[in-house]
């Protein structure tokens, strides 16, 4: 199962990607983060203590947790804003801390963490027209750091808002084959 979480406030990119995946017969579920009611993480630390693995904030993020926790691939689709994801997508990312393993491990000589369930691949699709080199590399580096700290595999893609069919199909192939 593939889970797509997209910010569709500036375009229908999440839906386009979902349709391309469905077209080849792979199971996929999509959420539009910009239309959901998701509050920011309050750093209450419950998810790494008192309510281990469970976020106590009762909002639409509770619909996403059960899907993300079992998915094989998580795909975040976001406009690239100041080399970052949008705040709608970032709210999901911050709250996903509840699905992380709070213990530390060492990889390539550095401390990292991991996800509570192994085996998820993690993709980020950034959409932006006329991005400069700094925006491009900032977006790539964010996802690279995410993959390291979460100990997951995956890839970053950056597309322009027209999302031509060839690039889209390439992304779909990478996602289903990773």
Partner 1 sequence: MNKSDVMLLCVSPRHKGTSAMLLERIRVVTGGKLFFLPQKGNLDELVVSMQEAGTIIISGPCYINTYPARMLELLETASLTGKFSGQKLYGIINGGMPYIHTHQHGLICLQLFAEQNHLLWQGGFVLGVGAMLDGKPLEKHMNRRTVVPAFNKFIQNISEGIQSPDSLYIKAQSPPGKLTTRIFAKFLTFLVEKNLKKYGQDPEAPNYYLRKQDDGKQNGSR
Ligand X SMILES: Cc1cc2nc3c(=O)[nH]c(=O)nc-3n(C[C@H](O)[C@H](O)[C@H](O)COP(=O)(O)O)c2cc1C
Applying CB under 8 A, the residues found at the interface with partner 1 are 39-43, 48-54, 65-66, 69-70, 81-87, 90-91, 93-94, 96-99, 102-106, 109-111, 116-117, 134-135, 138, 141-142, 145-146, 148-149
Asked if 89 and 19 count as a contact pair (C-beta separation under 8 A), the reply is no
Which of 41, 80, 124, 175 is the binder for ligand X (CB under 6 A)? 41
Q: Which is nearer to ligand X, 22 or 97 (CB)?
A: 97
Cα 110 from Cα 107, distance rounded (Å):
5
How do 110-115 and 2-6 pair as beta strands? Answer: unpaired
The minimum distance between CB 23 and partner 1, in angstroms, equals: 28
Q: Which is nearer to partner 1, 14 or 79 (CB)?
A: 79
Choose among partner 1, ligand X, none what residue 11 binds, the Cβ cut-off being 5 to 8 Å by kind: none
The closest of 85, 171, 52, 83 to 121, measured between CA atoms, is: 171
């Amino acid at each position: 199962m593939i889970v797509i979480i997209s910010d569709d406030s500036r375009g229908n990119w999440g839906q386009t990607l979902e349709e391309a995946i469905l077209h080849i017969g792979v199971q996929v579920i999509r959420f539009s983060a910009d239309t959901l009611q998701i509050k920011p993480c309050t750093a209450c630390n419950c998810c790494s203590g008192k309510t281990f693995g469970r976020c106590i904030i009762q909002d639409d993020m509770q619909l996403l947790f059960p899907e993300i926790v079992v998915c094989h691939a998580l795909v975040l689709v976001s406009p690239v804003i100041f080399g970052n994801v949008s705040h709608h997508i970032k709210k999901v990312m911050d709250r996903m801390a509840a699905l992380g393993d709070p213990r530390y491990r060492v990889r390539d000589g550095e401390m990292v963490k991991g996800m509570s369930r192994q085996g998820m691949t993690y993709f980020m699709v950034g959409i932006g027209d006329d991005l400069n080199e700094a925006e491009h590399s900032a977006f790539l580096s964010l996802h690279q750091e995410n993959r390291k700290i979460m100990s997951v595999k995956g890839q970053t893609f950056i597309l322009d808002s027209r999302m031509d069919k060839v690039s889209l199909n390439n992304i779909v192939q990478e996602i289903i084959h990773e």
